[in-house]
Amino acid sequence: MSEKNKKYWKSLNELDGNVSTEVVKDEFMDGVTDEFNISSMNGLSRRKFIGLLSASTAIAATACSDYHDQKEIVPYTNRPEGVLPGKPNFYASTCNGCGEACGILIKTREGRPIKVDGNDEHPINKGKICATGQSSIYNLFDPTRLQNPIKWKEEIDWSSVDSDIIKRLDSISDSGKKIVILTNPINSPTEQKVLDEFKQRFPSTDIQTFDLFNNSNRKLGWYKSYGNADVPSIKWDEASIILSLEGDFLGKEGNFIENTRLFSSKRDFTNVDNFNRLYVVEAGLSLTGSNSDYRLRLKPEAQYDFVMALLNEVINKKGASQIVVDSGVKSKLSKYSLDEIASRNGLDSIKLNYLVEDLIANKGKSIIYAGDVLPSDVHIAVNLLNEVLGNSELYNFETAYVDYGKQLDLKQIEEVIASMNSGEVAAVIHYDVNPVFHFPKSLQYEEALGNVNFVVSLVGEMNESTSKDTYSLPINHSFESWGDAHVRRNVYSLRQPVIAPIYNTRQKEAILLTWILGSPKVYNESLYHVYLMENCRESIHSKKKLAVDFNSFWNAALHDGFIMVDDKSANKKPFNITSVEVKGSPKDHNGFSVLLAKDYFIGDGRFANNGWLQEIPHPISKVSWDNYAAIAPATANEKRLENGDMIKVTVGDNSVELPVMLQPGVAANTIVIELGYGRTVISDVGKDVGHNANSLLNVKSENSRWIASDASIEVTGNSYEIFSTQEHHSLEDDFVKDLHLSRGIIQEASLEEYSKNPEFAHDKDVELFSITGEHKYEGEKWAMAIDMNKCTSCSVCVASCNVENNIPVVGKDQVAVGREMHWMRIDRYYSGSSEDPIVSNQPMLCQHCDDAPCENVCPVNATNHSPDGLNQMVYNRCVGTRYCANNCSYKVRRFNFYDFRDHFEDGYYANDVTPLVNNPEVTVRSRGVMEKCTFCVQKISEEREDAIRDGRAVSGDNVVPACQQGCPADAIVFGDSNDPDSKIAQYRKHQLGYDVLQNLNVKPNVTYIAKLRNIHSEDV
C-alpha cells in the first residue's frame, strides 16, 4: 500500500474501527481541563524563562570576562615537517646589516623568526653579532616597509613593472645612453655576477658603488705600500701593545665583534701577566678610547705629523728598525721631532715616553692601527711603522679582506652627477641605496635626478631618494632572501630565507635577473635560489674536488651557513718604501676641525626606523634618539656654549645646524658628529630623529672626506633638548665627583696595585651578619658574574636582552622623563678631569639579591623569591605601587607608566605586524605593572624541561641568558653557583669578584670582577 493513505491506529479498538468518539473528546477526567485555556496563560513559559535567564547570564558572563581581546587560535591540522609547536628551529644564515657579513643563527618559532644570534661555528664572528644585527629583526616586521611595487606613487603589479622596465632598458641601451646603477659595495660574488650579466645585457650600464663609511683609505694606503689590496686582519689576541690612531676598532670599525673577542682575550684576569696595553690617540672619546689604558687627545688632521714624529723617534732609537729605511726618508723624517709635535698639540710627554718605550720593548708583539677615517698617507706611515717594529707578524693574511672593487669618492660622484645633468644618463637605478640622503647637499644630486627621466629604486621602504622615482620596487628583507657573501679570504658564507616574503616583495637580485632574462614570466620564488646554487656549484664545489655530490654538499653548507675555502693567494708583499713621501714639515693646526663618525647602532641611517636601535643609549654619552656635535667642555666655555645650544657648523659650501653636547675627553677646537640621523623621508620611528650632518662630508679634500680642518662654527642662539639616560654632572663638582669610587660601586686598580694588594676589591667590605635565619638553597642557585676587564660597553647585551624579553620601545618623549624600559643597562662613570676623563663602565641588571629589599615591601607578594634563587615578578598580581622600585638599591626595576605598546610618540606600536617580533616565551607586560630582568627564566625552564626529559640533573652550563649569548667579549658568565666546579662558582670565589653595595647586606647574586688597568704605577 502506498505511503499516502497509510493509517495510524492508537489502539486495537481504533484499528477495528469501533472507537467511542466521546472517550476521545474527553481525554481527561471531568474538571481537569475546565480552566485550562492557553490564551489566558502567561506568554512567558518556564522553558522560555529559563532560556532567557541562561542567555542573559551568558551575556553578562562574556561582558565581564577577560578584558584582553581574544584572537583566533589556529592549530596545525597537519603539522609541517620539522616544525614542533613550542620548539624553536634554528637556521644558519648571513647577516646583512653591514659589509662584514657575520654568520648568524636565526631562531624561529612556528615559522616566525624571533631572535638572531651569531653562528657559533662561524670562524670570524664565532657566535656573536653586534647590536644592529641583534635588532635587525625589528625591520623585518616593520609595518611601514614598502609592500607593493609603486609607479608614480600608484600601486601596480609586478608583471607590468617588469615588462615596462625591460622595454625601456632595452630602448635606452640601444640608444647608447647610460644606465647608472648606484649600489652599496657588493660583498656577494653571486650578486656581483648578476650585476655583471646585467652590464652584458645592457652594455651602456655603468655600476657605481658608494658607501657613506668605508675603508678605501686603508685599502689605498695598503695598495701603495704593498702593491695589492689584500688588507689583512689583525691578530689582536697576540698584540701586547696596541696603539690606535682615531681607530674605533672595538666600536664600529672592521669586524669589531671579532676584534672585541680577540682584544678581550688578552684581558683575562686569571692571567694578568698576559694583559695587553691599549694606547689611543684620538679626537673624540670613542668606545675604544674609553677602554684605553692611556689616551691622548689629538686633532684628526694632526695625526699625520704625529705618526711621522713617532716614526722618526722609533727609527732613531738605536737598533729599533727591523727593515732598512733609506737615508732620504730618514733625513726628511728628522724634521718631525716627537717633543715638538707633543708641545704643538699639547700631548702628555710622560704618556708619549711610555708609548715609545713600550713599542720598542715589544717589537713584533705590538700593533699600530689607524682608523678608517684617516687619510691614506697616514695609513702608509702606519704600515711603515709596523714594518719598522716588525709588527707585520700580527697581520693575518689567512682571513684577509677580499677586495671587492673601488668605491666612488666625492669627486667621482660629482662627475656622475654632471653626466646626469648633461643628459648622458637616461636611467638611474637605486639598488638599495639612499644617495639623496648620503650625498652632501652642495652636490645637488636630487636636482640632477630631476634631469633623468627614468629612475627606479629597489628599496625596503620609501626614502629620500625615491621622490623622483618612476618605479619604487619593494625588496625582501635579508631574512626573506637567498644570498652569499665572501668578505674574508677563508670564508664563503650563505644566506637562506627563514620566512616567506611577508609583503608583495621580491629579492633585489631576482628582480635584476628577471630583467636580464627579458621576460616577466621567468620570475618565480626560486629564481635566484637556483642561480645561487649554480654559481656555488661552479665557483666553490667544482674547485673543491669533493667526493660528495653537490646537493648533499649544498645542504651541508646551508646547515653550517658557510663554507671554508683555502685561498692562499693573499700573502705579504715587501713594503714599498717609495710609497712614503714625507711632506715638508709639521704644521700648526689652529683651525676648527670637524670629525664625522659612524653612529654605533643605526649605521649610515639605514636602521633609522628601528626603534630598538634608536633607543639604545650611546655607549659613551648615553644619549638616545639623537645625534649632536660633541665638543670639549673647555672649548664650549670659550664659545659660551651649553648642552643643547644650537650651532651652525660650516664646511666648504655646506653648513648644518645641530645641538652641542659637552663631551669630556674631546680634543680642543674639534667637534665630532655622528652621521645617520636626520632622516626626513622615512616612517614614524626614524622621521626627524636627530640632525642630518651628511652635508658636512668634506667635498674638497683629497685625503679624507670625514675630516675637515677648516670648519667654522657660529652660535645660533636657538637651543634644543638632547636626552640621555644618565644625568650628567660636571666633573669639577666635588660634591658629586667620584661617588662611584667612594661608594664602592666601581672597584678598579692598576696591575701593580693588584699584585701588591690582591684583596683590594674587598678593602671596603664590612663584616655582615643577619639577625634572621638564612634561607638554605638546596639544588641550583642561579648567579651571574660580569668581568669588567673584558666588558667594552658595546651594548650588544642590551640589544640582545631587548629582543629576547620583548622590551618595549618608549620613544624620545619618555626617555626624556627617565622612563626607558631596558632591563639591562650599562652605567658609565667618569673620573679624572673633564679634559682627560677616565671612563668606567658597568653593566647593571637585576641582582637577584638573596635578601632582596624589593620583595618584603610589596604589599601583595607580587615579587618574591624562587627556591633556586631567582627574584621573580608576578605580573598578574602586581598592582603597581612602585614601592619595590623605590626600595631597589640598584634601581633596575622598570615600571610600565603607560601601555608602551600603544603609547609611543614616534611610532604606533600596536599594529598587526610588529607584535610578530615578540618572543612567545616571554609575557608582554601590560600598563601599570613593574618589570625587570628575570635571568631569562624562560631559558632556565627550558633547560629544566630538557633535563627532566633526558632524566639528568639540571646543568647551569646549558643555560645561557640573552646578554651572555650576545656578549662578544665573553664578559658575562652565568650558571649554578651551587655547583662547585662550575665557572660561575670559580668567579664568585675569586678575590677580584665583588658585590656592588656590599655593605647593604642584600646579598646580590651578580658578582662583578674588578677592573684592572694596565698602567704604570707612578701615575696612579
Partner 1 sequence: MSSDTLDYTEEYSVIEGKPSLRSIDDVISKPLDTKPDKKYYIALAVTLSMMGIGGVALLLTFYYGTGLWGNNNPVGWGLPIVNFVFWVGIGHAGTLISAILFLFRQKWRNGIARFAEGMTIFAVMTAGIFPAIHTGRPWLDGYLFPYPNQHGLWVNFNSPLLWDVFAVSTYFTVSFIFWYVGLIPDFAILRDRTKNKIKKTIYSITSLGWRGSNRHWQHYEMVYLVLAGFATPLVLSVHTIVSFDFAVSILPGWHTTIFPPYFVAGAVFSGFAMVQNVLIFIRKIFNFEHIITLDTMEKMNKVILFTSMLVGYAYGMEFFIAWYSGVQIEQFTFVNRALGPYAWAYWIMVTCNVLFPQLFWFKKIRRTIPYMFIIAVFVNVGMWFERFVITVTSLSRDYLPSSWAYFTPTITDFAILIGSFGFFFTFLLLFTKTLPVVSMAEVKAVVDGAQPSHEDH
User: CB of residue 1000 vs partner 1: minimum separation in angstroms?
Assistant: 6
Q: Is 564 a binder of partner 1 (CB under 8 A)? A: no
**H/E stretch holding 155:** strand 154-155
What single-letter amino acid sits at 480? E
Gap between the Cα atoms of 306 and 351, Å rounded? 14
> From CA 687, how far away is CA 679, in angstroms rounded?
6
What does the longest C-alpha to C-alpha distance in the chain come to? 146
- The DSSP code sequence of 182-250 is EE-----HHHHHHHHHHHHHSTTEEEEE--SS--HHHHHHHHHHHSS--PPEE-GGG-SEEEEES--TT
Q: For residue 823, what are the β-bridge partners?
A: none
> And the C-alpha cell for 818?
627617565
User: Which residue number, 756 or 891, has a Cβ lying nearer to partner 1?
Assistant: 891
- Closest by CA to 750, choosing from 789, 798, 784, is 789
Q: Which is nearer to partner 1, 201 or 927 (CB)?
A: 927
As a whole number of angstroms, the distance between CA 708 and CA 743 comes to 43
N-to-C CA span, the chain: 120
Instruction: Look at residues 230, 258, 254 and name the one whose alpha carbon lies nearest to residue 123.
Output: 258
C-alpha cell at 88: 624553536
Please, what is the minimum distance in Å from the beta carbon of residue 924 to partner 1? 15
CB 731 → partner 1: shortest distance, Å?
12
550 binds partner 1 (CB under 8 A): no
Cell of 771: 639577625
Shortest distance in whole angstroms from residue 537 CB to partner 1: 55
Q: Hey, how many other C-beta atoms are within 10 angstroms of the C-beta on 811?
A: 25
**Distance, CA of 227 to CA of 229 (rounded, Å):** 7
Window of 194-202, 283-291, 368-376, 851-859 that interacts with partner 1 by CB under 8 A: 851-859
Q: Which of 597, 929, 959, 1006 binds partner 1 (CB under 8 A)?
A: 929
Contact positions with partner 1 (CB under 8 A) in 970-999: 996-997
Closest distance to partner 1 from the beta carbon of 955 (Å): 32
Q: Enumerate helices (H) and strands (E) in the chain, giving the number of each.
A: 33, 37
- Of 471 and 830, CB closest to partner 1: 830
Bridge-based pairing state of the strands 483-485 and 491-495: antiparallel
Please tell me whether residue 859 binds partner 1 under the rule CB under 8 A: yes
Burial 676-712 (b: 16+ CB within 10 A, else e): bbbbebbbbbbeebbbbbbbbbbbebebbbbbbbebe
Q: By C-beta, is 107 or 825 nearer to partner 1?
A: 825
Any contact of residue 896 with partner 1 (CB under 8 A)? yes
Q: Which stretch binds partner 1 (CB under 8 A): 263-271, 327-335, 600-608, 871-879?
A: 871-879
743 binds partner 1 (CB under 8 A): yes
Contacts of 739 (CB under 8 A, 6+ apart): 745
Nearer Cβ to partner 1 (92/852) = 852
Candidate residues 53, 715, 860, 948; the one interacting with partner 1 per rule CB under 8 A: 860
Nearer to partner 1, 456 or 930 (CB): 930
Residue 812: in which H helix or E strand, if any?
Answer: helix 812-816
From the list 817, 992, 191, the residue with the least C-alpha distance to 531 is 191
x/- mask, partner 1, residues 829-848, rule CB under 8 A, reads: x------------x-x----
Determine the interface stretch with partner 1 among 321-329, 875-883, 905-913, 978-986 (rule: CB under 8 A). 875-883
> CB–CB of 144/608 below 8 Å?
no
865 binds partner 1 per the rule CB under 8 A: no
Among 853, 923, 983, 986, binds partner 1 (CB under 8 A): 853
Minimum CB separation of residue 684 from partner 1 in Å reads 19
Tell me how many residues contact partner 1 (CB under 8 A). 55
889 is an interface residue for partner 1 by CB under 8 A:
yes
Supply the minimum distance, in Å, between the C-beta of residue 69 and partner 1. 17
Q: Answer yes or no whether residue 644 interacts with partner 1 by CB under 8 A.
A: no
Interaction of residue 687 with partner 1, rule CB under 8 A: no
Return the number of the residue (176 or 818) whose C-beta is nearest partner 1: 818
Which of 832, 928, 944, 955 lies at the binding interface for partner 1 (CB under 8 A)?
A: 928
Q: Does 901 bind partner 1 (CB under 8 A)?
A: no
Q: Is 873 in the site for partner 1 (CB under 8 A)?
A: no
Please report, for residues 338, 816, 892, the alpha-carbon distance to residue 334 in angstroms, rounded to integers and kept in the order given.
Answer: 10, 54, 57
Q: Does 866 bind partner 1 (CB under 8 A)?
A: no
Distance from C-alpha of 616 to C-alpha of 471, rounded to nearest angstrom: 35
924 in contact with partner 1 (CB under 8 A): no
Tracing cell 655646506 back to the chain, one arrives at: 654
Residues 6+ apart with CB under 8 A from 442: 652, 653, 654, 695, 699
Provide the minimum distance between the beta carbon of 1006 and partner 1 in the complex, in angstroms, as a whole number. 13
Contact between 314 and partner 1 per CB under 8 A: no
- Asked if 880 touches partner 1 (CB under 8 A), the answer is yes
Distance CA 465, CA 472 (A): 10
Binding flag, residue 960, partner 1 (CB under 8 A) = no
Applying CB under 8 A, among 411, 583, 587, 877 the residue interacting with partner 1 is 877
| Residue (123 or 853) nearer to partner 1, CB | 853
739 binds partner 1 (CB under 8 A): yes
- Residues numbered 769-828 forming contacts with partner 1, rule: CB under 8 A: 814, 817-820, 825, 827-828
Minimum CB distance to partner 1, residue 761 (Å): 18
Q: Decide: is 741 part of the binding site for partner 1 (CB under 8 A).
A: no
Q: Are strands 103-109 and 112-118 parallel, antiparallel or unpaired?
A: antiparallel
Task: Tell me whether residue 310 is exposed, middle or buried, using C-beta atoms within 10 angstroms of its C-beta: 0 to 12, 13 to 18, 19 or more.
Answer: buried
Q: Put the strands of the sheet holding 150-151 in their side by side order.
A: 154-155, 150-151, 471-474, 455-459, 425-431, 178-183, 205-209
Q: Judged by CB under 8 A, which of 895, 974, 994, 1008 binds partner 1?
A: 895
768 belongs to the binding site for partner 1 (CB under 8 A): no
Single residue of 930, 936, 985, 1012 touching partner 1 by CB under 8 A: 930
- Choice between 713 and 862, CB closer to partner 1: 862
Of residues 585 and 861, the one with the C-beta less far from partner 1? 861
* Residue of the chain from 551, 718, 861, 1017 that contacts partner 1 (CB under 8 A): 861
Which is nearer to partner 1, 178 or 740 (by Cβ)? 740
* Pairing relationship of beta strands 491-495 and 178-183 according to DSSP bridges: unpaired
Q: Where does this chain touch partner 1 (CB under 8 A) — which range of 363-371, 652-660, 747-755, 924-932?
A: 924-932
Q: How far apart are CA 842 and CA 837, in angstroms?
A: 16
The answer to whether 160 touches 147, Cβ cutoff 8 Å, is no
Can you tell me which of 648, 897, 908, 938 binds partner 1, judged by CB under 8 A? 897
Instruction: Tell me the C-alpha distance between 721 and 381, whole Å.
Output: 42
Of the candidate residues 885, 913, 922, 960, the single one contacting partner 1 (CB under 8 A): 885
By the rule CB under 8 A, 927 interacts with partner 1: yes
Contact criterion met (CB below 8 Å) for 226 and 575: yes
Q: Which is nearer to partner 1, 54 or 861 (CB)?
A: 861
Please identify which residue in 380, 485, 788, 878 interacts with partner 1, judged by CB under 8 A.
878
Using CB under 8 A as the binding rule, whether residue 90 contacts partner 1 is answered as no
Give contact residues for partner 1 (rule: CB under 8 A). 726-727, 735-736, 739-740, 742-743, 745, 814, 817-820, 825, 827-829, 842, 844, 853, 856-861, 877-883, 885-887, 889-891, 894-899, 903, 927-930, 996-997, 1000, 1002
